[in-house]
Structure formats: C-alpha cells, structure tokens
Amino acid sequence: MRLSVVNYALEKIEAICCKKGITKYKLAKQAQIPYTTLTNMFKKDTMPTLPTLQKICEGLDITMSQFFLEDESRVDLTEKQKELLLLWDDLPGDLQSRVIGYLEGLKER
C-alpha cells in the first residue's frame, strides 16, 4: 500500500520532529508559522503549501532535498563525514550550537 503525498509529508514531519525531540508547538515557533496552521494540517490531513513546507524545513534545520530523501543518503561524502552528519542530525539545536562553538575554538588554535 502506498502512502498519499499528504500522508507522506505529514508523517515525515512527525518522524523528524520525533527524531529531533521537537514538539509541534516548538516547530511552529522555529518555522515562524502560526501554530494553528501546523495543527490544522494534521487535523484536516492537508498538504502544506510549498512556502509553508519550506518554512517547516527551515524550522527543522533541514533542506527540502533532505526532507524528500528516502534513505537519508548523502552524495559525495566520505564515510567519516557521513558518520559526523548522522551524529549531528541527532543532536538538538542547543547542542549543535555548542559543537559549532567548540569546532570554531579548535580552528583558531
């Protein structure tokens, strides 16, 4: 059985939120969209518009390309780079900021 595009998009949003530990309320704030817009999409089972999906992706800190990737593969990366990015994707935003600060500190040495 194949999922509809609407179900795919909504299930993907929920899955990414769950993986990142983000509530729908927090996603709405990070995406700078009204919370009611987000909850109505789920209640009414409607597809987000492209501009809304773009904002949702920005709120999730991913690209639209990453959103639609099936296997989360990344092209032209070494195995170490892929490992780092998989670890990165599992970190909440505040820890990602700390990692950036740490790396910037290492770079200045």
Whether 16 and 69 share a structural domain: yes
Whether 42 and 81 share a structural domain: no
Whether 59 and 90 share a structural domain: no
Between the alpha carbon of residue 20 and those of residues 1, 13, 63, 86, the distances in Å are 27, 11, 15, 12
Whether 42 and 87 share a structural domain: no
Query: Angle at Cα 58 formed by Cα 81 and Cα 30, nearest 5°?
Result: 120
Whether 67 and 97 share a structural domain: no
Evaluate if pTM is beyond 0.85. no
**What domain range includes position 48?**
1-73
Q: Describe the crossing of helices 24-31 and 35-44 by its angle, rounded to 10 degrees.
A: 130
9-29 residue pLDDT tens = 999 999 999 988 899 999 999
25-71 residue pLDDT tens = 999 999 999 999 999 999 998 999 999 999 999 999 888 888 888 76
If one counts every other C-beta atom within 10 angstroms of the C-beta of residue 96, the result is 14
